[in-house]
Chains A and B, each alone.
Chain A
Amino acid sequence: MPETTTGALIYQILELLPFLKELPEFLHIPMLMFVTGLIPVTVISLVGLVGVYMERKVSAFMQIRLGPMEYGPWGTLQTLADGIKLMGKEDIIPREADKPLFILAPIAAFVGVFLLFIAIPFDRDIIVVDLNVGIFYLAAVASIEVVGIIMAGWASNNKWSLLGAMREAAQVVAYEIPVGICLVTVVIVSGSFSMVDIVEEQKGLFLNWFIFRNPVMWVVFIAFIIASLAELKRAPFDLPEAESELVSGFHTEYSGMRFSIFFIAEYGAMFVASALIAILFLGGYYTGIPFLDNIDGILGILIRVGALFGKAFAFLFLQMWIRWTLPRIRLDQMFYLCYKVLVPFGFVAMIITAFWQMVLPGDGFMSLGWAPGLGK
């Protein structure tokens, strides 16, 4: 058998579609390329289409209006129609812009998000590469997007863009510290960087999920949600794009397809963050109900992939809900929250988790009292 998981995925496909086995050996590598490339491309386009539609519908319903209704039933084809329209738009590069940087910036931002999808497990076998440094890789690659955004802000030669980019850089960079602390806490519990190992560790009853591992894990969970909102520049942390102050921040000068690349990257990042919350704290692709998780074959795969997408979209909805609930915070409040609240709380929770892990390793603390060892 091949050593990494995509290989296993290919062999599963071969089992399901036996006629592919008749293909000569040299076609296996193109097939491999097809399968590995397919995962991030499918997911990012699905998230782009569904996420944008969902955002508009949720926003609309929260403001008691209908939102897009014209194309397709209930406006479901609206995003597709928008995409086609954007393709016909004029490609505008401002006269005083730094041309090479202006062109490269959206690509850099997109690459930063696209590469995140490598380490997201949609099922035990449906992952591009199960890196043994998974979490570390995510933490490292997640900061590439900022480079693209600073490039965009600087290259646009527009005051709004530059201000937005500076705010964004400061914010994203600051909140990487609480995110890092949360990730470290999860690694203490899981004992592995690999994303598949982390999810497998949470197999069984939902009391095995990392959020129930020890009495402070929910603090880490909430800290991670807050910090990921800030990393994503979502409301109430949307200072870099504050419409009422900075027009639209770093992408003020971007239009047409270049703008939509930033847009897709943003929704991709939103999905990755939501999926990460599910993977790190809520059992990832496992439903938390043992007999559902033990189903084999194609039905089992569908259930597990569905579970991950369900959890991720629940958190996408949470992000949208928060957007229409909380007003935007000020810059000083943003730093207060990071350095004086999340970082100290995160460190304390990390130490308590480490202590708990030393004294009581193993199952979740919720199952300790009434049914020890029920989960595994």
Chain B
Amino acid sequence: MISNAPVSLAIVVLLAVAVPAVFVLVPRLLGARRASSERQTPYECGLLPVQDTKSRFSVKFYLVAVLFILFDLEVAFIFPWAVVYDELAVRGFLEMLVFVGVLFLGLMYVIRKGALDWD
């Protein structure tokens, strides 16, 4: 019979792109077109835009991203452990205790260093 998993996936990916593409194209055909200079300026509450947008922003965002990579990788490592947990039994549990313990120490360190305080 038909092995349909790859076909189905391909179809859904295709649809995922096609549906919004159609949504965008329809108003191109139907919509009004009265472009004017004011209409196309970036919105700044009615005033003319000041300064360039691509300026600097708080380094805290960068810090959050770095922390995310660390912790999310750890969680990604735990996933395969979780799925075979029943077979690993006591040994698996103790090993994960050590792993999460180390992770927890890291989290404590980050908190004590004040990396998560926004101010």
Contact = CB atoms under 8 A, between A and B. Distances in A.
Interface of A: 1-4, 6-7, 28-29, 32-33, 36-37, 40-41, 86-97, 103, 106-107, 110-111, 114-115, 117-118, 128-129, 131, 135-136, 156-160, 162-163, 166, 169-170, 173-174, 176-177, 180-181, 183-185, 187-188, 191-193, 247, 252-253, 256-258, 260-261, 331-332, 335-336, 339-340, 343-344, 347, 350-351, 354-355, 357-358, 361
Contact of A173 (B2, B15, B33, B68): B68
Interface of B: 1-5, 7-9, 11-13, 15-17, 19-21, 23-24, 26-28, 30-35, 37, 39-45, 53-54, 57, 60-61, 64-65, 67-68, 71-72, 75-76, 78-79, 82-83, 85-86, 89-90, 93, 96-97, 100, 103-104, 107, 110-111, 116-119
B40 A93 contact: yes
A335 B34 CA distance: 44
Contacts of B24: 91, 103, 106-107, 257-258, 261
12 contacts: A89-B31, A97-B42, A107-B17, A107-B24, A110-B20, A115-B12, A129-B5, A136-B79, A331-B118, A339-B111, A347-B100, A354-B93
Contacts of B33: 90-91
B89 A350 contact: no
A174 B15 contact: no
Given A40-B15, A157-B42, A258-B24, A129 B9 contact: yes
Contact of A350 (B37, B54, B100): B100
Contacts of A41: 15, 19
B30 to A, nearest CB: 5
Contacts of A2: 1-4
A106 B20 contact: yes
A261 B42 contact: no
Nearest to B50: A159
Contacts of A6: 4, 8
Nearest to A331: B118
Contacts of A91: 24, 27-28, 31, 33
Given A6-B4, A170-B64, A335-B116, A114 B15 contact: yes
A1 B2 CA distance: 9
A178 to B, nearest CB: 9
A28 B71 CA distance: 46
Interface of B is mostly: helix
Given A4-B5, A36-B4, A187 B79 contact: yes
A141 to B, nearest CB: 10
Contacts of A89: 27, 31-32
A4 B15 contact: no
Given A129-B9, A187-B82, A252-B43, A335 B64 contact: yes
Given A92-B40, A170-B61, A253-B42, A184 B17 contact: no
Contacts of A115: 12-13, 16
Given A7-B4, A184-B75, A87 B53 contact: no
Contacts of A261: 20, 23-24
Contact of B3 (A4, A256, A358): A4
